[in-house]
Amino acid sequence: MKLLNKTALITGGSAGLGYAVVKRFLEEGASVVFTYRSGREKAEAMIKEFEGCNVYGFQADVSKSEEVRALIDFAMEKMGRIDILVNNAGVFDKRKNILELSEDEWDTVMDTNGKSVFLTCKYSIPHMLEQGGGTIVNVASVATWSLNAGGTAYCASKYVCQALTRRIAKDFGRMGIKCNCINPGTMETKLTKASIDNPDDLIHQMADRIAAGRWAQPEEVANLILFLSNSESDFMQGSPVLIDGGWSLL
């Protein structure tokens, strides 16, 4: 098992990619705390599904400092340490340009996709340093390579996520902190199904144009996060890793 006796904190872990990462980490022997913003019943069903594993759900808005501090305290109480942090929580902006985008929408996207990474790293890294090291994987987006993948706020927020990744690797790499990010394209989830099935939607149209000829399954992206979270990737630092089926080649 690649994560035997390791502990992991995964934000946005109750659906889509987050769920796939939780499942994959548990299969590899990790203890996991995952966050969810709403849907307590769904989170409780997940815990029941993985009965026999060390898995805990925590309801939090990870863009709020006080809730992130409570989350870190909870993770430390349940697991005793945080070996791996996966920042997966995120929202989309419906590809709105700067004139279409309201200030409130900008704040929501930037806080959820950018500020949350700042907060979880800020409050997790001290524990990682105290225990001798740790691993951080941030989920950015192909939108840092292709502006067709999002609107003004989404693209900006994912650049923030990628920049934070590189800065953390530079500042703390020699202290035992490994920090990388992934840049996924579209994945087939319940949230994206309507776009994938709609011939008038850009996502539907792009699937036939990219090199892979299809969109990713969440499990495929979760496998990359697993790789970046275990010792096989220990020489990687500050790397923005694409997993987009060739979208960025267009």
pLDDT by residue, tens only, the chain of 250 residues: 999 999 999 999 999 999 999 999 999 999 999 999 998 999 999 999 999 999 999 999 999 999 999 999 999 999 999 999 999 999 999 999 999 999 999 999 999 999 999 999 999 999 999 999 999 999 999 999 998 889 999 999 999 999 999 999 999 999 999 999 999 999 999 878 888 899 988 888 889 899 999 999 999 999 999 999 999 999 999 999 999 999 999 8
pLDDT confidence of residue 169:
98
Contacts of 93 (CB under 8 A, 6+ apart): 101, 105, 109, 150, 151, 152, 153, 154
15 neighbors 189 (Cβ within 8 angstroms): yes
Catalytically annotated residues: 154
pLDDT confidence of residue 195:
85
pLDDT confidence of residue 157:
98
Instruction: Give residue 217's identity as a one-letter amino acid code.
Output: Q
Rounded CA-CA distance 204/184 in Å is: 16
pLDDT confidence of residue 201:
86
Q: What is the number of alpha carbons within 13 Å of residue 89 lying toward its C-beta? A: 30
pLDDT confidence of residue 250:
87
**pTM of the complete model:** 0.97
pLDDT confidence of residue 194:
85
pLDDT confidence of residue 74:
98
Structure tokens given for 54: 């060390």
Provide the greatest CA pair distance for the chain.
Answer: 52
| Dihedral sign computed on CA atoms, order 63, 220, 159, 128 | positive
pLDDT confidence of residue 202:
83
DSSP letter (8 states) at residue 187: B
pLDDT confidence of residue 190:
84
Closest CA to 59 of 20, 77, 92, 33: 33
83 neighbors 7 (Cβ within 8 angstroms): yes
Pairing outcome for strands 134-139 and 7-10:
unpaired
Instruction: Give residue 234's identity as a one-letter amino acid code.
Output: D
